Amino acid sequence: MTGTVQDQTLDALFTALSDPTRRDIVARLSAGEATVTELAEPYSMSMQAVSQHIRVLERCGLVSRGRHRQTRPCRLEADALETAASWIEESRRTWSERMDRLEGRLAQLQEGDA
């Protein structure tokens, strides 16, 4: 089963965000554009490894690269994060409603025992 396009998008987003280095890169880019060299500075890994992390973030739409003179700065694409945030909020609402109904039902059962 392949799932819907939205399911595939969410799978890619959550897979990308499951890695702490990639989450850190996303957090760094939330402050503004940065080059791969700038993004690689805090890590003790090769530029190739950091570039691979960035490619994962690009594939799911969280990061894009522009062109500025000789550099290709990375930028955060916040709309992709909004997709994940919307799904999380919808799930939170659904489970909150279910728990409210469960609480109500349990209260009814307890009143019946009294």
CATH number of the domain enclosing 71: 1.10.10.10
pTM: 0.76
Instruction: Round to whole Å and give the CA distance between 59 and 57.
Output: 6
What is the number of structural domains in the chain?
Answer: 1
Q: Which domain holds residue 108?
A: 5-113
- pLDDT tens-digit profile of 28-86? 999 999 999 999 999 999 999 999 999 999 999 999 998 777 778 999 998 888 888 88
Tens of pLDDT, residues 2-21: 578 788 889 999 999 999 99
- Look at residue 1 and tell me whether its pLDDT is greater than 70: no
Instruction: State the Cα–Cα distance between residues 48 and 9, nearest whole angstrom.
Output: 25
